[in-house]
A = this chain, B = another copy of it.
Amino acid sequence: MKLSTRGRYGLRAMFDLAMNESQGPIPLNEIADRQNISESYLEQLFAILRREGLVNSVRGAHGGYLLGASPNEIYIGQILRTLEGDIAPADCVRNEDVAGCMDADACVTRIIWEKIRDSINQVIDSITLEDMVNQQRLINSKKGSNSSKDDWVIRCNN
């Protein structure tokens, strides 16, 4: 019942972009360094995110990636779903593989999976990247003067 690294790394990388929005295009190696994620793996993830319009790319020297919309328009649900597919505890409650669960209406466990799915979606579809950025800045300001530029960097791989 864990998210895969796709979703977890992807969210961190998008959050990284949001924190650096004003800096122009951010090259992947910067994100990879800051977040301690393999650059070539990130390339895969960003290819997916780009197809979905969640990021824009700028090719060539001094290129990099930009958010595809303002941080307050990007919900983390979009990010996670793009990278992981529908978030659900069982296949029979994913839109994708509507997986012929015959008699679905009469299936009590299905009702449980639906409730779990819906409660997850309610969380991830109510938080934007902007929310995350604001929360991070609040945390940093509370830490006071000894906060460095990279205080917001997420070090662990979760």
Contacts and interface: CB of A to CB of B under 8 A. Distances in A.
Interface of A: 1-4, 7-8, 11-12, 15, 76, 84, 87-93, 99-103, 105-113, 115-116, 119-120, 122-124, 127, 132, 135-136, 139-140, 143, 151-152, 154-156, 158
A158 B110 contact: yes
Given A84-B1, A122-B119, A127-B112, A101 B139 contact: no
A93 B109 CA distance: 26
B90 A3 contact: yes
B112 A136 contact: no
Contacts of A103: 155
Nearest to A151: B106
A70 to B, nearest CB: 18
A110 B15 CA distance: 12
A99 B158 contact: yes
B132 A108 contact: yes
